[in-house]
């Protein structure tokens, strides 16, 4: 990783510094744990604050906080998963109708929460969400700019069955 970080430092020190973004939907960093919920609530309050006053919101918020804190260690019932996704999709529909300057960011952030939950709860590998993030980056966030994607080998694998045979533990994750 050190060569990559050295390259990034070099690219930032030019008269045309590069912008760096991520494509992984997992919410494991300091920002997600400390600020994401408050900023999401602020966004939703601006669009339709009544959603935050519904009976469903406290459970949704609790499930989201647990996912941010525990990720794949979180145990979620089918009923809670349904509540979470129903409420999240209500938020996504709200964001889809939003035309404010930050709407594109929040739509993608909400879809990333969907992908993060699907990954954490073993419903889908996160590669699909990462692919959607690459497409969004090229079509919206960095439209007209050159986009360079660096990925871990497992996310770019062409033959997942071969990987499953060679690395059974990863193979089980891919097959989830």
Residue range 7-38, pLDDT digits in tens: 878 877 877 776 666 656 565 566 777 788 99
The predicted structure's pLDDT at residue 176: 56
Question: Which sequence spans correspond to the domains of the chain?
Answer: 22-129, 146-176
Phi, psi of 45 (to 5 degrees): -60, -40
* Residue 98, pLDDT score: 96
Q: Which residues contact 124 (CB under 8 A, 6 or more apart)?
A: 115, 118, 176
Q: What is the pLDDT of residue 163?
A: 65
- The pLDDT score that the predictor gives to residue 43 is 96
Q: Which residues of the chain are modeled with pLDDT < 70?
A: 1, 18-30, 123-127, 150-160, 163, 170-176
pTM to 2 decimal places: 0.66
Report the pLDDT value the prediction gives residue 44, as an integer from 0 to 100: 96
Residue 39: what pLDDT? 93
Confidence (pLDDT) at 142: 79
Which residue pairs from 60-69 have beta carbons closer than 8 angstroms and sit at least 24 positions apart in sequence? 60/84, 60/87, 60/88, 61/37, 64/37, 64/113, 65/37, 67/27, 67/116, 67/117, 67/120, 68/27, 68/32, 68/33, 68/36, 68/37, 69/33
């Amino acid at each position: 990783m050190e060569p990559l970080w050295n390259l990034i430092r070099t690219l930032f020190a030019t008269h045309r510094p590069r912008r760096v973004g991520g494509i992984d939907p997992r919410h494991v960093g300091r920002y997600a744990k400390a600020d994401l919920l408050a900023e999401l609530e602020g966004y939703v309050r601006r669009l339709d604050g009544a959603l935050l006053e519904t009976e469903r919101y406290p459970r949704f918020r609790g499930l989201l906080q647990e996912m941010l804190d525990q990720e794949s260690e979180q145990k979620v019932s089918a009923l809670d998963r349904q509540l979470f996704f129903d409420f999240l999709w209500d938020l996504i529909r709200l964001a889809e109708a939003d035309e404010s300057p930050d709407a594109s960011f929040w739509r993608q952030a909400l879809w990333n929460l969907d992908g993060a939950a699907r990954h954490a709860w073993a419903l889908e590998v996160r590669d699909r969400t990462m692919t959607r993030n690459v497409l969004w980056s090229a079509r919206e966030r960095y439209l007209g700019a050159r986009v360079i994607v660096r990925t871990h080998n497992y996310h770019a694998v062409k033959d997942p069955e071969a990987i499953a045979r060679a690395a059974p533990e990863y193979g089980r994750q891919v097959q989830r």
